Amino acid sequence: MKFTLNIWRQKGPEERGRFVTYEARDVSSDMSFLEMLDSVNQGLIAKGEEPVAFEQDCREGICGSCSLVINGIPHGPDRGMTTCQLYMRRFPDGAVITIEPWRARAFPLIKDLVVDRRALDRIIQAGGYISVHTGGAVDGNVLLISKEQAETAMDAAACIGCGACVAACKNASPALFVGAKVSHLAFLPQGRPERTNRVKAMLEAVDREGFGSCGNQNECEAVCPKRISVRFIAILNREYLRAGVVESSLPAEPESPHAEST
């Protein structure tokens, strides 16, 4: 198979970027999309040219490194997968493929297709954790958690932090990313003591980092490689409202570890 690739090349954040066209020849249909790019890069390096910079690591859809916008869609044409899980058999022979980086103000470009996603880490640092010390934890079975609740927490916790939700959103909103973390912890009894401050601190960090706000268009769910549901954005909004109510009506409501989460 052969393909024509229009790839975004940009030497650095201060330089102007542009599309450069490359031909990918002798591509086998069993190659992954990234292996196809590898082979283009091998050709460039052998000629002494700089290869196309792109991110990848585990190549099995879990680390969240890979981050390409392929023909306008983050992670490419198929739902529920990362760029590294896309195979060339998905494309017709001779196709023209456009490859761009994640584009968002909060994700400054580093080089070519590589952007800086540390803003997502800083959102988690603002409160996406349970502050318990190592040691002294009670037995794991002391707090019973229903199967449904644990499964819902897991649905949310499956987020790989790739940032495709931001790249797909015209407002560059990370609502799905934040909603997933807030919901994951809100559904577990261990996460309840800090839920009020958590949601507020994380949303403040979202604003600080220059992300946009959610417009409820659900593009994020459509491109999420882990199929995280926009339901978790609804839970995020509810948690935020709840936090406002709790704050205005002191003293705080009693927190029971056995309370229903909903």
Partner 1 sequence: MELDSKIPPGPLETKWDRRRFTEKLVSPNNKRKITVIVVGTGLAGASAASTLGQLGYQVECFCFQDSPRRAHSIAAQGGINAAKNYQDDGDSVGRLFYDTIKGGDFRSREANVYRLAQVSTQIIDQCVALGVPFAREYGGQLANRSFGGVQVSRTFYCRGQTGQQLLLGAYSALCWQIERRQVTMRPRTEMLDLVMVDGQARGIVARDLVTGRVSIHTAHAVVLATGGYSNVYYLSTNASGSNVTATYRAWKQGAAFANPCFTQIHPTAIPPGDAHQAKLTLMSESLRNDGRLWVPTMRADHRCPGDIPDGERDYFLERRYPRFGNLVPRDLASRAVKAACDEGRGVGPGGHGVYLDFADVLGQQGLDVVRERYGNLFDMYQRITGEDAYQAPMRIYPAPHYTMGGLWVDYNLMSTVPGLFVIGEANFADHGANRLGASSLMQGLADGYFILPYTIGHYLATAKLTPVGEDRQEFRSALQRVMSRISRLLKVKGSRTAASFHREVGRLLWNHCGMSRNEEGLKSALTSIPALRDEFWRDVMVPGSGEAFNQELEYAGRVADYLEFAELLCHDALHREESCGAHFREEYQTDDGEPQRDDSRFAHVAAWEYREGTSPVLHKESLAFEFVQPTTRSYQ
**Bridge partners of residue 69, in order along the sequence:** 74, 100
Does 212 bind partner 1 (CB under 8 A)? Our answer is: no
Residue with the two structure tokens 């995020």: 236
- From residue 94 to residue 123, what is the string marking binding to partner 1 with x (rule CB under 8 A)? ----------------xx--x-xxx-xx--
Does 34 bind partner 1 (CB under 8 A)? Our answer is: yes
Please check whether residue 153 is in contact with residue 184, taking contact to mean a CB–CB distance below 8 angstroms.
yes
Q: Where are the alpha helices (DSSP H) in the chain?
A: 33-46, 118-125, 147-157, 164-168, 175-186, 195-208, 219-223, 231-248
Among 126, 165, 167, 203, binds partner 1 (CB under 8 A): 126
Among 76, 128, 179, 212, binds partner 1 (CB under 8 A): 128
Does 40 bind partner 1 (CB under 8 A)? Our answer is: no
Q: What distance in Å separates the CA atoms of residue 258 and residue 143, rounded to the nearest whole number?
A: 8
Least Å distance between CB 215 and partner 1?
26
The DSSP H or E segment spanning 70 is strand 69-70
Residues in contact with partner 1, counted by CB under 8 A, come to a total of 77
Q: What's the DSSP call for residue 2?
A: -
Does 12 bind partner 1 (CB under 8 A)? Our answer is: yes
Among 16, 94, 139, 170, binds partner 1 (CB under 8 A): 139
Stretch 153-172 residues interacting with partner 1 (CB under 8 A): 153-154, 157-158, 160-161
Among 141, 135, 151, 247, which Cα is nearest to 198's? Answer: 247
Q: What's the DSSP call for residue 5?
A: E
Least Å distance between CB 4 and partner 1?
19
Does 2 bind partner 1 (CB under 8 A)? Our answer is: no
Least Å distance between CB 108 and partner 1?
11
Does 184 bind partner 1 (CB under 8 A)? Our answer is: yes
Among 6, 38, 98, 237, binds partner 1 (CB under 8 A): 38
Q: Which residue number, 131 or 249, has a Cβ lying nearer to partner 1? A: 131
Among 68, 69, 185, 223, binds partner 1 (CB under 8 A): 185
Sign, Cα dihedral of 92, 96, 102, 108: positive
Q: Which stretch binds partner 1 (CB under 8 A): 81-89, 92-100, 170-178, 241-249?
A: 81-89
Strands 73-74, 69-70: pairing is antiparallel
Least Å distance between CB 197 and partner 1?
12
Sign, Cα dihedral of 138, 129, 56, 88: positive
Strands 69-70, 114-115: pairing is unpaired
